[in-house]
Chain A
């Protein structure tokens, strides 16, 4: 039997079989794949002769549910508009989705697609890093759950197995004390690609910072983040936070300096390395010198 060009499985189980048997390329909204493999008018997109595995219709991949432990599980093929409309979507993710594209793209694009394509500039994926999202994968060997940062290893590179599918993304829901910080410097105000995507979140309750997440997109080959630095700030009250910040006398303190050391921006058709560096530093300082101290001092409005 010849290899089919387009596969539409009836169930997730069938999808996994097809994925393994044909090395099929999973596709839901096509907003990444059909742009990267752009077809001229009246022609087929050059898809390297790998069959397409359409998964946009599978109920297992398109539902959103709470897990009862404060996490929201979002099906990998859920379109952005549905994520935006869900009442429990964390604000940070919501902000990133609102600004990531125009309605037509939000009506087609999915988290699974953005994660699978591993673009270092993907706004929603950047928010997932800051939220410490976990990704569910299904394969013939069974299911596994991986922190987002461990799944993506390089531009366009992930550890998703050749027989696996991304099935869902889980994010912690906002709770009392949750804060989010989202800034995007785009090529324009709407429907824009990011020159820099900057996401941060965490919780400040009774003057203590927990669960800090910071992620910066489009300033390195992958989204920049640091579990170590986040852990260093864990549990800080204002005094301890200030002490941490004083460990380095650089502008913006210890955290700014350490994050600046992690970024490696380049000049490309959208922006320059100098601009990316300066703006990242400005945003880090705004977060670490103003936003977090204000939250910790309980003066937030």
Chain B
């Protein structure tokens, strides 16, 4: 569909694994603003098995709320004429079970790790990483390849001009396994070769007959440099052509949009990068969905992204239970519940993924699970994908050796400026304080950190919109998308409960206050209506607020509905083990933030 010359009305949808969300943007008085938002369950399930049903339902909600006629039957009217139709329609998608890949390299900690980063960066779930030195015998690798039915394989190995026998051997193993794609049997499995350029002909001879082979630039052309861009782009292209095309209804949806459908994580990552670049700050972004949780960060200008497959709030909720354990979830519950009951509730959410909590108890349980999903996803981000980056990465030889022992993390919580939460459980939390505390408990920020949420889960829409109309995307992002919740002040150190931790002073156009924070406290102190406040945090001896132990930190921060959150509960955060003490502690903390007010 061709783009109009003038854009006044924009429709954007995001087809999540659980819910399809539509937003309507209009240019009014010279500025682009969000008008309304609608949503409907994603309809990949029977009896519909067609993603466009959910899109149409969500758009109908937008029509009802805005009074604007957008649909003509089951067709989106475009371009806009008067009060009818839209000029641009864009969409993102994470439905369809995500992109499941297998990657292979020669040396596990080098080319195989680079291949894994490329796949993760493209939004894939990495099912298996094979390497010549992974300790398995060749026939074991062949068996493993045969068992898996990935959407595609990324094969790398060797620097350009280096030895090619290892990567050729890996290709031989893939050929011998004769792997089949996950979806459908009517096409060959896509294999991307991004290894030693000298081995291309050999690879083609071995794999071209059996697979849909494509070749891109080596993702590790020399030992100390990574070039992940070409492989990532090729993954994205094949994802659209092969995986999405197999998902029910996507053929139609792809014809409706003005620009290619973008994977939801890719679109959110784009917005996180924009925020960091525009403000010159370190940012952590998280998007917690029904099936997966994505973590994005920009530290020191370097963009990282990880996808935690099978950590999510509906389809994957039971997996959060399996990975975190019952005890870890229960430690956030201000009431007692039997293990069997908690497990049944997780199981029921898994099999009815679109249902929502109707009682406060159910809401608290879901938010407890969210804390653990976020914590686990963040751990993975910090420990595993630390060196993942945008386009091209340069390492020194010493970094390369570092990497073998697990890599150097770029995540520095003390220097982190802003956390942005996105995804249903954060964006749609009935109380903003709930979203803030979920993020504080899961990420445990240190020093002074601004907290924000994507108000109504718009980052995916704006990310894909920015590829075609950046002005509109940025204007809506500034005015309607990001909601600042207020800063979190968390001095790091140790002290006896109740002993002095820090003196926190807040000044703004609305006035000022001073709070003497004691060790073990969780409080939210309102700071008026001002958009910005000046914080002065003077930590006690032994506590660090960002400038060293006992050194005062002055910082301009964004105010929010919560004011300033003061968290002196300690890092790492310890929760009481005894159930009765836990219940009492949590009830006190949650009351302090008026987290779960009584209905009515």
Whether both chains belong to one complex is answered with: no
